[in-house]
Amino acid sequence: MPSYANLFAGLLFGTIGIAAFRYGKKSASWQPMAIGVILMVYPYFIEATWLVYLIGVALCALMFVWRD
């Protein structure tokens, strides 16, 4: 059973991923769509809470750095 911090991180980054995916779909840009899908899926495969937060923050930063 994952910890509450891990569940919260999955919910947080999943929500950000949904928003990024919808933004990418609306603007017809594949970069935010791809990062959004990764943000929604990766917490299911990572057990270490600190790693979930680290990857999530890195992907969110990448979304702002890697623009068209």
Task: Reply yes or no on whether the pLDDT at 68 is more than 80.
Answer: no
What confidence tens digit (pLDDT) does each residue in 7-34 have?
Answer: 999 999 999 999 999 999 999 999 999 9
pLDDT of residue 49: 93
How many CB atoms lie under 10 A from the CB of residue 58?
10
Q: Where are the beta strands (DSSP E) in 1-68?
A: none
Residue 45 tokens, joined: 């495969």
Task: Reply yes or no on whether the pLDDT at 66 is more than 90.
Answer: no
**Block residue for tokens 């990418």:** 24
pLDDT of residue 67: 74
**Burial class of residue 31, CB neighbours in 10 A (0-12, 13-18, 19+):** middle
pTM above 0.75, yes or no: yes
Mean pLDDT of the chain: 92
